[in-house]
Amino acid sequence: MKIGVLASQGAFAEHIAALQQLGVETLPVRLLEELTGLDGLIIPGGESTSISSLMLGYNLMDEIRSLAKNGLPMFGTCAGMILLAKRVSDLSVEPIGVMEITVKRNAFGRQKDSFEAKLPIPVLGEKPFPGIFIRAPLIEHGNSGVEILARLADGTSVAARQEKLLASAFHPELTNDLRLHQYFLDIVAGRQ
Ligand code: GLN
């Protein structure tokens, strides 16, 4: 199994480290040819406007879009979730646009309003997941076909799955809890 991590900008190194801990072959993706032969792709957190314009500038956007439409599993965290969404509240981001979700950027305020929340995520088992939210987006709406995997205590949706696409508003790569990465690998392997 070979998993690429989009490395245009943002927290890609932490995702690579998490995948290495899980014993998976992984490589940073910056160029079009590096998208060949992948079994899955992670779109990291960072700044969605920058990641989107770098994807366009390096000719990655169309290929990633068509790989997602053809069923390549993808996992987007924070800015990565914004990029997977079909509808983004802020029109300055051109998303990949493959998940039937509407997301709102910077939904919890500024950098200083970053927070950590213990999230119940039933598909990962009983133990709550440490959700780290940094200028995070939220999911305003998911169409049919979208399964909401996690909510904050007030009901706000913060993680979702649509077939082989997975998205979280928080940063699992900044914790020692590898369960969400493992869940993604199970999707890639067809076990989930
Ligand atoms: N605020 C960023 C954006 O809108 C996302 C932040 C993050 O990925 N931690 O793109």
pTM value is 0.97
47 lines ligand 1 (CB under 6 A): yes
Question: So what's the pLDDT on residue 192?
Answer: 86
For 23-60, the pLDDT digits (tens) are: 999 999 999 999 999 999 999 999 999 999 999 999 99
3-state secondary structure of 23: coil
φ, ψ for residue 52, nearest 5 deg: -60, -45
Fold category of 2-188 in CATH = Rossmann fold (3.40.50)
φ, ψ for residue 150, nearest 5 deg: -150, 145
Question: So what's the pLDDT on residue 22?
Answer: 98
For 150-163, the pLDDT digits (tens) are: 999 999 999 999 99
CA of 25 to the centre of ligand 1 (A): 27
Long-range contacts for 28-36 (Cβ within 8 Å, ≥24 apart)? Answer: 28/4, 29/4, 29/5, 29/60, 30/58, 31/58, 31/60, 32/58, 32/59, 32/60, 32/63, 34/4, 35/4, 35/60, 35/63, 35/64, 35/67
Instruction: Provide the residue ranges of all domains of the chain, joining segments of one domain with +.
Output: 2-188
Q: What is the arithmetic mean of pLDDT over 81-103?
A: 95
79 lines ligand 1 (CB under 6 A): yes
CA of 107 to the centre of ligand 1 (A): 10
89 lines ligand 1 (CB under 6 A): no
Residues 3 and 42 sit within 8 Å (Cβ to Cβ): yes
Per-residue pLDDT band for 112 (boundaries 50, 70, 90) equals confident
For 113-143, the pLDDT digits (tens) are: 899 999 999 999 999 999 999 999 999 999 9
Question: So what's the pLDDT on residue 110?
Answer: 83
Quote the mean pLDDT of the chain. Answer: 97
